[in-house]
Structure formats: C-alpha cells, structure tokens
Amino acid sequence: MDKYVTGAVIRRLRESKKMTQEELADRLFVSGKAVSKWETGQGFPDISLLEPLAKALDISVIELLSGEDVRNRNHSSNIAKGSFYVCPVCGNVIRTIGEAVISCCGITLPALTADEADEDHFPKTEIVEDEYYVTVDHPMTKDHYISFLAAVSDQGVQFVKLYPESAAEARFSIRHVSELYAYCNRHGLFSVKPRIRKKTAGLCRERL
C-alpha cells in the first residue's frame, strides 16, 4: 500500500457529511479524542478501522486512501476522453471512460498522460480493406519494447497486448478511430491522430 489516509482527508469528508468528531467516533466505537488526533496529524486510524471509517463517510476504501470521491462524476463520460492505467508490478492495463481511482498490486495507479508520438514511438498506419494496419518501428527486446497498441473512438477502445520479441503491429477496425496509442515500457504512453496511407492503382497516397 503506497498511501494511507490523512487527517485532512478525514476531516474534509466528515465535515462534508455534517458530522461532529463525536458522531464519527460513535460510529467507529472509538473516542472523540482519537478522531481529533487523526485529524490533527497526531495519529492514524488502525488499518482495521479503514473499512468502517470508509462506510461511515459513505465512500470506498480506495477513495478514502486516495483522498478523492469519484462517485457521480461520470454522467457525461466520454470513451474518447478516458484514461489508461498501467501497473508497474504485473503489467495490467486498465482503460476508464471517466474519472476513477484505480488500484492494482497494492498501488494506486496514476492516469497516464500521453505525449505526442516522436520518431521512435510513432504508430504508422495503412488501410488494409476495412482495417488500420498499425506498426511501430521500435525495439522489441526483453528489456525495451512496446507493451500495447490501442485505437480509441467515441464508440469504444480496441486494444492489442504485445510482448517482447514479437512484432510491434496490430490491426484495428477503421470505424470512427480518432486516436492511436502506443505504450513503451521505458518511456510511457504516446498518441497520434491516425495517418492513412492507402495504396491505390500502384500509387501511395497519404492524408491526415
């Protein structure tokens, strides 16, 4: 576990529920003085109290630990505006369509910020029938490789997991794709608008 609940978070959440320290203490079967010590940074609630504390504050344990209340923020969520999360321990990849607190292997994961694709991480695209054929000219060694490729549209996410010593390539349905992503295990997430190279009558045309 990389984070623990802070007194400032407990106080903010308690006050948002319009509870006194004594009222919160009664729900947890602790003293009001104990709650006061938590909120002033003179102590921490025992780990056995995290679940009842979260329940008393009407929030999940993960939200409590992160200090964020993510409920009711996704009414206007947009698949194309979601986030990727990658666990550095097991390599698990998670895609959200709105704000979330994501935890894996005991770690609260940050939402990845995609950089504009550079020359070493640029997903190149060609149209093959009704699909994008996507390739990345990048090493695929055991220590340095493209971990996944993804195509995002307003209708969903297409995802291909890649592995060391395999080809950095994937095929995606072309329909409504607005962004392509490549994740390098050393340098992070990169994105690009699809560039279309379509072979027509022996000639190669490119359009953005």
Average pLDDT value for the chain: 85
The arithmetic mean of pLDDT across residues 77-105, rounded, is: 82
Whether the CA torsion 57, 62, 64, 70 is positive or negative: it is negative
Q: CA nearest 127: which of 174, 159, 160?
A: 174
Alpha helix positions (H), 5-68: 7-16, 21-28, 32-39, 50-56, 61-66
Instruction: Give the model's pLDDT for residue 206.
Output: 41
**82 contact partners, CB below 8 Å, separation of at least 6:** 95, 96, 97, 98, 152, 157
* pTM for this prediction: 0.64
Question: Mind listing the domains of the chain with CATH numbers?
Answer: 7-66 (1.10.260.40), 79-109 (no CATH), 115-207 (2.60.40.730)
Type of residue at 160 = V
The arithmetic mean of pLDDT across residues 67-83, rounded, is: 58
The per-residue pLDDT for range 138-181, each reduced to its tens digit, is 999 998 999 999 999 988 899 999 999 999 999 999 988 999 99
